[in-house]
């Protein structure tokens, strides 16, 4: 396929940032050996990088949408090829052409909802704070310490609303000064950016930044590692720097300061799943484990693939909105691993991971005895 002029700059960007296989990638295949897709089907990031180098001839094919941006291959690459940047550049070109193959066709609908209502579900913006009704959560004011930004899933999804509610209840009991912006906030834009829609990401980001600045926000507390990553690492491109804290970082501090009293007995065997965008991308491994180990009666056990080696749940890179065949879900592997180590609860700290793990637990015929929980839901039970 001939490359049309506006997209030649995408090709140039790929080569500039490390996608030039001749200059950087020597086709060692280490990216393929660590890619979670190769646990469930045949997939080659190495092949995609090579094809990108020689003109991106097949943007119509489904393979360019498979990367979950989990971060395993860039971490192992000996030549710093920056595979995630390359995939995003390819997807920007596909988005420019309006090419969405196979299970990612819903991206069009998602983009419409994000542009119109600020959320991927196209739910009424005015109901964004409905999750907080009846639990005493106040609108953010400038004299409050934290803006709590729950994310789209925790604002609208029935299962994930429970995470936002648990978080708010824990914060209130610990005496944390916080508020929410409700309908004034948008999706952070991380996932739509990973699908290649840079213009929509910038629109969402600029509107959020204006809302934050207008409200006098200095510290942002988040439940989603994807929001964490975006606010901390990507919003600075707009010349702003907010202090960003993931709830799993705040919890151990509240325990150390004596603001959280964990008095209830939690006599269950628990394991922890490291979300890619909390752990591998941002280095937060110890805080959630430290919190769980403080819970009275809780028996903690590690999964066989943990910390930097954690297996992706499959929802990153925009695939939270794509349909994945049941037998190709990485989260199935994770649930099986939790069962194998004898855990009764699989705990994590990411709305996307909870969504994936819950879906797997429900469709697997041998996972009835294990529960999936957010770390705040565990803490709420023992306060």
CATH class belonging to 254-382: alpha beta
User: Which pLDDT score is estimated for 12?
Assistant: 65
For the chain, the three-class secondary structure string (H helix, E strand, C coil) is: CCCCHHHHHHHHHHHHHHHCCCCCCCCCCHHHHHCHHHHCCCCCHHHHHHHHHCCCCCCCCHHHHCCCCCCHHHHHCCCCCCHHHHHHHHHHHHHHHCCCCHHHCCHHHHHHHHHHHCCCCCCCHHHCCHHHCCCCCCECCCCCCEEEECCHHHHHCHHHHHHHHHHHHHHHHCCCCEEECHHHCCCCCHHHHHCCCHHHHHHHHHHHHHHHHHHCCCEEEECCHHHHHHHHHHHHHHCCCCEEEEHHHHHHHHHHCCCCCCCCCCCCEEEECCCCCCCCCCCCCHHHHHHHHCCCCCEEECCCCCHHHCCCCCCCCCHHHCCCCHHHCHHHHHHHHHHHCCCCEEEECCHHHHHHHHHHHHHCCCCCCCEEEEHHHHHHHHC
Domain limits, CATH 3.40.50.1860, in the chain: 107-252
CATH class belonging to 107-252: alpha beta
List the pLDDT tens digit at each of the 383 positions of the chain: 344 434 455 556 655 554 454 467 888 999 999 999 999 999 999 988 888 766 655 677 889 999 999 999 999 999 888 889 888 988 988 888 888 877 888 999 999 999 999 999 999 999 999 999 999 999 999 999 999 999 999 999 999 999 999 999 999 999 999 999 999 999 999 999 999 999 999 999 999 999 999 999 999 999 999 999 999 999 999 999 999 999 999 999 999 999 999 999 999 999 999 999 999 999 999 999 999 999 999 999 999 999 999 999 999 999 999 999 999 999 999 999 999 999 999 999 999 999 999 999 999 989 999 999 999 999 999 99
Domain limits, CATH 3.40.50.10700, in the chain: 254-382
User: Which pLDDT score is estimated for 8?
Assistant: 58
User: Which pLDDT score is estimated for 81?
Assistant: 86
């Amino acid at each position: 396929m001939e490359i049309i002029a506006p997209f030649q700059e995408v090709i140039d960007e790929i080569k500039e940032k490390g996608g030039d296989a001749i200059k950087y990638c020597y086709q060692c295949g280490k990216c393929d050996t660590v890619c979670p897709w190769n646990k469930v089907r045949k997939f080659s990031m190495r092949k995609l990088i090579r094809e990108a180098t020689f003109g991106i001839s097949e943007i119509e094919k489904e393979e360019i949408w498979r990367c979950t941006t989990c971060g395993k291959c860039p971490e192992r690459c000996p030549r710093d090829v920056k595979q995630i940047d390359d995939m995003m550049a390819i997807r920007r070109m596909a988005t420019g052409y309006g090419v969405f193959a196979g299970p990612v066709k819903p991206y069009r609908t998602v983009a419409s909802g994000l542009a119109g209502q600020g959320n991927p579900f196209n739910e009424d913006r005015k109901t964004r704070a409905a999750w907080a009704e009846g639990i005493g959560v106040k609108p953010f004011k400038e004299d409050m310490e934290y803006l709590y930004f729950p994310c789209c899933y925790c604002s609208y999804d029935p299962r994930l609303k429970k995470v936002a509610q648990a978080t708010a209840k824990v914060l209130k009991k610990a005496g944390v000064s916080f508020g929410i912006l409700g309908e004034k906030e948008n999706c952070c834009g991380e996932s739509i950016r990973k699908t290649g829609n840079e213009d929509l990401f910038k629109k969402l980001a600029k509107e959020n930044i204006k809302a934050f600045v207008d409200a006098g926000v200095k510290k942002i507390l988040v439940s989603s590692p994807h929001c964490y990553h975006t606010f901390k690492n990507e919003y600075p491109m707009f010349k702003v720097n907010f202090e960003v804290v993931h709830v799993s970082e705040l919890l151990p501090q509240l325990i150390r300061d004596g603001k959280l009293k964990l008095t209830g007995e939690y006599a269950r065997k628990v394991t922890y799943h490291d979300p890619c965008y909390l752990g591998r991308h941002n280095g937060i491994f110890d805080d959630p484990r430290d919190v769980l180990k403080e819970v009275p009666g809780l028996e903690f056990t590690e999964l066989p693939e943990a910390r930097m080696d954690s297996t992706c749940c499959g929802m990153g890179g925009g695939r939270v909105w794509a349909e994945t065949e049941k037998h190709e879900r990485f989260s199935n592997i994770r649930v099986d691993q939790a069962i194998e180590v004898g855990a009764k609860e699989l705990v994590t700290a990411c709305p996307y991971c909870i969504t994936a793990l819950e879906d797997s637990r429900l469709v697997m015929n041998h996972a009835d005895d294990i529960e999936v929980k957010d770390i705040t839901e565990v803490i709420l039970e023992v306060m």
